[in-house]
Amino acid sequence: MRSSSHKVAIVPCSGIGKPYGTVSRVAAYQVTEDDRPELTRLVPLALLVMGDEEYGRIVTESPAITIDGCPQACATKMVQQSGGRVAHECSVLGAVRSHRDLKPQGIAELNEDGEKLANALAQEINAMIDALTVAGPDK
């Protein structure tokens, strides 16, 4: 197992007030708190934008998985601007296209479809983490 300083950085969208941003964050929390806490570290996009030194260091020293809620791809762009390496880019819109039957709604609290979509996205991210941790940080 890798040391805590080399965990996979999970950087979700900060789309406050938007259902897709909430899906992004719920998926990130599921991955970092429940599914793969020993392998991951949550990096709040807002702190990265503000230039927080600790989180800037995390994204430069660890592979990052970004979760973007819209085509602006703020999480991906910010990790790159911070000197980090994006190992995988996830898109909530991509998950919506893959799960057309799910219609996420809600902001502070997602509806059942939103929760299901966040879970599906978390499972995709878990597979990416597993591939990264088996292959190593430079693969």
Per-residue pLDDT tens digits for 79-91: 999 999 999 999 9
CA distance 133 to 17: 33
Nearest to 20 by CA among 76, 89, 104: 104
Instruction: Give pLDDT, residue 135.
Output: 63
What are 90's strand-pairing partners? Answer: 67
CA distance 92 to 117: 9
Binning pLDDT at 50, 70 and 90, where does residue 105 land? Answer: very high
42 C-beta neighbours (distance < 10 Å), count: 18
Q: Which residue has the tokens 């406050």?
A: 16
Instruction: Give pLDDT, residue 92.
Output: 97
CA distances to 72, 82, 114 from 20, rounded to whole Å, are: 12, 24, 8
Structure tokens at 110: 């997602």
CATH architecture observed for domain 4-134: 3-Layer(aba) Sandwich (3.40)
113 has pLDDT over 80: yes
φ, ψ of residue 65 in degrees (nearest 5): -115, 120
Instruction: Give pLDDT, residue 139.
Output: 45
Report the amino acid identity of residue 73: A
Residue range 66-89: mean pLDDT, rounded: 97
56 has pLDDT over 80: yes
Structure tokens at 119: 């879970």
Residue range 4-32: mean pLDDT, rounded: 91
Instruction: Give pLDDT, residue 81.
Output: 97
53 C-beta neighbours (distance < 10 Å), count: 8
Model confidence, pTM: 0.91
Instruction: Give pLDDT, residue 2.
Output: 40
